[in-house]
Amino acid sequence: MSMEDLQRFIQFLGGLGMFLYGMDRMADGLQKSAGHKMQQLLGALTENRIMGILLGTGITAIIFSSSATTVMVVGFVNAGILNLSQAVGIIMGANIGTTVTSWIVSINEWGEMLKPELFSPVLIVVGALLGFLSKSGKRKQTGEILVGFGLLFLGLDFMSGCAAVYRTNPVLLHIFTFLGEKPLLGVAAGLFVTCLIQSSSVSVGILQVLALNGMVNWQTAVFINLGQNIGSCAAALHSSVGANATGKRAAVIHLLFNLAGAMVFGVIMAAVFRWNPAFAAASVNSVEISIFHTVFNVSNTILLYPFAGLLVKASGILVKDDGQQKECTLDSTDEMKRHLDRRILDTPSFAIEGVSHEVVNMGYAALHNFDLAAQVLLKDDTGEAVQVNKMEQKIDDYEKILTDYLIKISNQSLNEEQHLIVKNLFYIVSDFERISDHCENLSELAVEKAKRNIVFSEDADRELREMFHAVRSSVEHAIKAKETADMTEVRAVVRSEELVDNLEEEFRERHIGRLSAQTCQPENGVIYLDALNNLERISDHAHNIAGFVRDEM
């Protein structure tokens, strides 16, 4: 290799780097702009497979990678958020969504004004100005998208310029012709490059760059493209290592789907090329590759849609149960870890949705501990104190798991709204943990009360019951406020908190009156006042949670 060839190769790699970075910036900006809408997409998903296809297409169009979408699907299935029937539709849609990138790459063949050298610098300048000068988060995200778009096409221009020199190179032309004449080798080449790059969108883009310079014929392009579609399964298969059997099956479904399509289209196109050798040897351009790529993925989805159930069954035959699906073998902390799957982190909107659900579950666990503490103190059932301690330990574990996951989410690229939600979730997790701490305090007070043979007066007992009822209402409404984002629930917490504050002040004064009248022993009063104080603090934490929910509305 001459020095000039080495220089062109380095420039080609530099162009590829700009292409990859630009695509990443575009996807990142689009994800930030979509924000909460991405979460709504998941919420709209039902057993309707067509809805799943639309969802998979939409997500892939936003994040520019069918591999990333299917990796995320493996995570959802592994976490129990999706079942395999729902996953099939999303996987089919992901293959359609990935065609968006190929159409973007081919845009420079749509007209002279769309040549990268003309509009790429303009996009980069406008995007950079928006990013640096705008205070609005939305405008900054638009700037990020424009810069990514510009860099993507600048990278394509670099790669195309380097490849143009070799358009008449007899060695390269012979290689591409040979790959076309040997379909299995063509498929293997596309498969290898895609597995190496870990992105079918990028490998298809490279093929289009070569096609731009007239280096690829139809026969070669088709078989390489079929291999690229199979290669897009590599990321999901690799990601499924360590997943449960259901998660592995989702990755296998993606492989079976693409393999079946490649085999059917491979046979059809081989027959077409044999029948029409002139067409097989004709040069293909990037727009025509986009057309074939789109026709293949849409037709494959239509063809295999009726057999989705068979794909699920086939995945079950290939991947046997590993015993992890039996939820009875898992305790709740294991379930929470499984639900907070690391594969979902690359799509922060969905990761936030998942962790929010688990925070609500932590809230209900804290409420259960509150009910246990009430039983210990009000019914003198000190045997339940052990259960309160166990639940408190479990809630401490929840706090650690959720906090660790929230830290990982906060290290992702988030928009302003998502930053606020994650920050508030940190605080809400802490508030639920503090509620459980106070429940443990109440349980310890009950045990101390039993040791000293303390018996509350009828008035004190009635007041504590009323206080417990008001505080429970406050906590329950706070959990529902977080669960439903309903302002009615937030207002209910505010009303309950006001009632609790008033009751605490009133009951404290009554207690002082009883002490003055010597109808209550001082040692009884210490337990009573500490219980009031813990209950009032629990209500304060519920009020904090409602405040964080209100901030997000």
DSSP string, 393-408: HHHHHHHHHHHHHHHH
Spatial CA neighbour of 376 closest among 396, 393, 363, 390: 390
Average pLDDT over residues 254-271: 94
Burial of residue 187 (CB within 10 Å: 0-12, 13-18, 19+) is: buried
| CA distance linking residue 286 with residue 261, whole number of Å | 22
Of 201-215, 263-277, 515-529, least confident by mean pLDDT is: 515-529
The CATH number of domain 332-551 is 1.20.58.220: yes
Q: Would you kindly state where each structural domain of the chain is located, as residue ranges?
A: 3-318, 332-551
pLDDT digits (tens, 9 = 90+) for 167-217: 666 666 677 777 767 889 989 998 998 888 777 878 888 888 888 878 889
The predicted pLDDT at position 326 comes to 44
Percentage of residues in the chain having pLDDT higher than 90: 39
Q: Give Cβ neighbours of residue 369 (< 8 Å, ≥ 6 apart).
A: 388, 391, 392, 395, 435, 436, 439, 440
The model's pTM is 0.78
Lookup: tokens for 398: 């929840």
pLDDT digits (tens, 9 = 90+) for 454-477: 887 888 889 999 999 999 999 999
Alpha carbon 235 to its chain centroid, in Å, reads 16
pLDDT digits (tens, 9 = 90+) for 415-439: 888 899 999 999 999 999 999 999 9
The predicted pLDDT at position 207 comes to 87
Percentage of residues in the chain having pLDDT higher than 70: 87
Describe the crossing of helices 66-79 and 200-212 by its angle, rounded to 10 degrees: 170
SS3 330: coil
Please, which pLDDT band fits residue 542 given cuts at 50, 70 and 90? Answer: very high
The predicted pLDDT at position 325 comes to 45
| CA distance linking residue 508 with residue 491, whole number of Å | 26
The predicted pLDDT at position 35 comes to 56
Q: For 319, list phi and psi in degrees, rounded to 5.
A: -120, 110
Please, which pLDDT band fits residue 84 given cuts at 50, 70 and 90? Answer: confident
pLDDT digits (tens, 9 = 90+) for 307-337: 988 999 999 999 887 654 444 334 577 778 8
The predicted pLDDT at position 536 comes to 95
Average pLDDT over residues 389-411: 94
Please, which pLDDT band fits residue 521 given cuts at 50, 70 and 90? Answer: low
Instruction: Evaluate if residue 493 carries a pLDDT over 70.
Output: yes
The predicted pLDDT at position 329 comes to 39
Contact 265, 226 (CB under 8 A): yes
Contact 178, 239 (CB under 8 A): no
Scan for tokens 């639309």, then name that residue. Answer: 54
Spatial CA neighbour of 453 closest among 548, 388, 382: 382
The predicted pLDDT at position 24 comes to 76
- Whole-number mean pLDDT of the chain? 84
| CA distance linking residue 553 with residue 547, whole number of Å | 10
Burial of residue 539 (CB within 10 Å: 0-12, 13-18, 19+) is: buried
Check residues 374 and 34 and name the one with the higher pLDDT.
374
Q: Give Cβ neighbours of residue 95 (< 8 Å, ≥ 6 apart).
A: 56, 66, 229, 232, 257, 258, 297, 300, 301
Q: How many CB atoms lie within 10 A of CB 368?
A: 16
Q: In the chain, how long is the greatest CA-to-CA distance?
A: 109
Please, which pLDDT band fits residue 73 given cuts at 50, 70 and 90? Answer: confident
Instruction: Evaluate if residue 271 carries a pLDDT over 90.
Output: yes
